[in-house]
A and B are shown apart, each in its own frame.
Chain A
Amino acid sequence: MAVIETKNVHKTYNHAVVPVHAVVGVDLKIEKGEFTAIVGPSGSGKTTLLNMIGGLDKPTEGSVMVNNVDISSLSRNELIDFRLEHIGFVFQAYNLIPVLTARENVEFVMLLQKQSKEDRDSRVTALLEEVGLSDKTDKRPSELSGGQQQRVAVARALASKPDFVLADEPTANLDSKSAENLLDMMARLNQDEQMTFIFSTHDQRVIDKAKRVITLVDGRIDSDIVKE
């Protein structure tokens, strides 16, 4: 069963002079356990598509189905709850809460989900161990390197046990070694736990690791290659 299915998705921004067609008629199915990169030049619509898949933006036309739920028809609050329960986000700039420690950042989404303290403690410990930061649990983001912060962001994205993780240019701010480590970790999570990852990226290292590469040009799918 497809975790994500977009049907004839369009996104048009009504600028003052000329309407901008950011995404045009995208039909896409992403199955559980995929490790997919959406690539394309700047302005090709990959972030817009990712935002619509993540329920952060609504299509002008068409529908986005996540686990058979048409998320484009949900209200604002329903969308927030849906994102909390079903989608993990990893952002380019890490976007951790600066005043919380690594442990508290990971725990935060579980608190929003109203999970019990025991569940939170055990899962946070396991996730930070999984991302190799069990010795940095009490450090604040400012005390961590970029690579370490992005690992905490991945742990946070996984904390809510989402159906898939959307990662928008996750390696853009990292040095080569940190980017390599992060990708290896995500690939391992994909392999071991069948966690679905969808990347929007320019980074060749991400494209090389991806099992499927979707290329967008001018808001349309130009190619969709599944690697053997």
Chain B
Amino acid sequence: MFFKLAWRNIWRSKRRTVITMSSIVFAVLLSVLMFSVKNGLLNKMEQNIVGYYTGYIQVHQKGYWDEKILDNTFDSSEELEDQLLANAGVKAAVPRLESFALAASDEKSKGVAVIGIDPEGEHLATQLKDKLVDGIYLTATSNGAMLTTGVAEYLDLGLGDTLVLLGQGYRGATAVGKYVVQGMIEFASPDLNSTMVYLPLTQSQELYVASDKLTSLVLLVDNPSGAHALAEELRSDIVGDKYEIMSWQELLPDIHQFIEAEKAENIIFQVILYVLIAFGIFGTILMMTLERQYEFGVLVAIGMRRAKLSTVVVMENVMISMLGVVIGMLISIPIVGYFYNFPIRVSGKLQEAYENFGFEPVFYFSIEPIVFYSQTIVVLVISLILSIYPMFKIGFLDPIKAMRA
């Protein structure tokens, strides 16, 4: 009956309840959309750069990340791979030899990053094959190269054309090679898309005169969000100081900090939004508490304990708030779902600005459960905190004074 009492009480003043619920509905809707697009953008950014290129953890020769030169490479080692794979969190260790070169076609040249890969392993770690938009994906024994569309466009190269690479190899050797373009890769990140050339690992080792040498092992991890902790774990597992094991947060501190700052900004905005909403809910609670002093006095007079009365009032507050949250979420789910499937592609100046910063000019939406349930938790906490006021009033209620009110 106490539940029934609380439920009916919230409908005693329908207009007030509807207004309060509506403000919560709009706050939840706004908050969900904002949280979803921010999360979507940041997740996509992380995925575009980390998931599709650096990987979540890399292993290098100590000092390589500070000075990315071929002299800081290490010899391919089965023993190291076995040590890494012994950890259950590591699913695969994918070798790379990365360096820079001048890429040239008949007419133009451009500085590019040349990535020597184990094609199948690389696909496992960074889903590279999914980025192929034209031509054939590399195999371990290919003689050709894959270019990102940005490089191909700049150099005016198409499938079957010849790409010339010129650079400095291991220990100062000259690195020169020519390769038939056999595939085109397209990255969402404009930065990556304008700089990458992929060769099979053996071809790149030959180009750079670095037989059996690697610049990095990219680790395919079981749980990307736990990469940092896993890197810590691996550092203690791998004995000696020959290698550096770095999580993506250490590899790309600028990106990591940017993502963290954006998340913090998102939280601040949501806090402001919910503080405004909290005042709205508090207004309702205040009016309801003051209006019902007499009734509270009667209930305590006839034998209802203050704690039980407080429970009913808290139930009322939670019900109003949760109704608002549920309706807000029910409205937001199809909207978020739509934009998840059809992200907003920006154009014009905004597109340029995004691309200048190296971001994909698309507003992606996230449908992670946290986008939705975090709102429920926040509103529930707000309504519980605001319930302190009527609980306080009821706790100190004098039934005689209340019935005189």
Contact = CB atoms under 8 A, between A and B. Distances in A.
Given A91-B298, A95-B298, A98-B12, A83 B303 contact: yes
B330 interface: no
A99 interface: yes
Contact of B303 (A57, A76, A98, A112): A112
Contacts of A54: 301
A114 B11 CA distance: 26
A80 B400 contact: no
Nearest to B8: A99
Given A100-B5, A111-B1, A56 B302 contact: no
A51 interface: yes
A85 B301 CA distance: 12
Contact of A156 (B9, B295, B302): B302
Interface string A83-98: 1110001010001011
Nearest to B404: A47
Nearest to A76: B306
* SS of B interface (majority): helix
B399 interface: yes
A140 B299 CA distance: 17
A104 interface: yes
A81 interface: yes
Given A98-B12, A99-B9, A83 B301 contact: yes
Nearest to B294: A95
B12 A89 contact: no
A97 B5 contact: yes
Given A95-B298, A97-B295, A100-B5, A51 B305 contact: no
B307 to A, nearest CB: 8
B305 A80 contact: yes
A109 interface: yes
A228 B305 CA distance: 42
B303 A81 contact: yes
Contacts of B171: none
Contacts of B403: 91
Nearest to A85: B303
A112 B400 contact: no
A99 B303 contact: no
A56 B303 contact: no
B302 A84 contact: yes
A112 B312 CA distance: 13
B278 interface: no
Interface string B264-304: 00000000000000000000000000000011001111111
B302 A109 contact: yes
A108 B302 CA distance: 10
Contacts of A122: none
B303 A107 contact: no
A77 interface: yes
Contacts of A109: 302-303
B68 interface: no
Nearest to B303: A84
B402 to A, nearest CB: 10
Contacts of A98: 12, 295
Contacts of B9: 99
Contacts of A111: 1-2
Contacts of B301: 54, 56, 83, 89
A56 B298 CA distance: 10
A6 interface: no
Count chain A CB atoms within 10 A of each CB in B2, B299, B301, B399 and give the residue with the most.
B301
A182 B115 CA distance: 96
A93 to B, nearest CB: 8
B78 to A, nearest CB: 73
Interface in B1-34: 1-2, 4-5, 8-9, 11-12
A160 interface: yes
Contacts of B305: 77, 80-81, 112
Nearest to B307: A77
Nearest to B12: A99
A220 B31 CA distance: 66
A183 B304 CA distance: 27
Contacts of B294: 95
Nearest to A100: B5
Contacts of A97: 5, 295, 299
12 contacts: A51-B400, A57-B400, A80-B303, A80-B304, A81-B303, A81-B305, A84-B304, A97-B299, A99-B5, A100-B8, A112-B302, A112-B305
Interface of B: 1-2, 4-5, 8-9, 11-12, 294-295, 298-306, 308, 399-400, 403
Given A98-B295, A104-B4, 4 more contacts: A56-B301, A80-B300, A81-B303, A109-B303
Top 10 nearest A-B pairs by Cβ distance? A84-B303, A99-B8, A95-B298, A83-B303, A56-B400, A111-B1, A80-B305, A112-B303, A56-B399, A89-B302
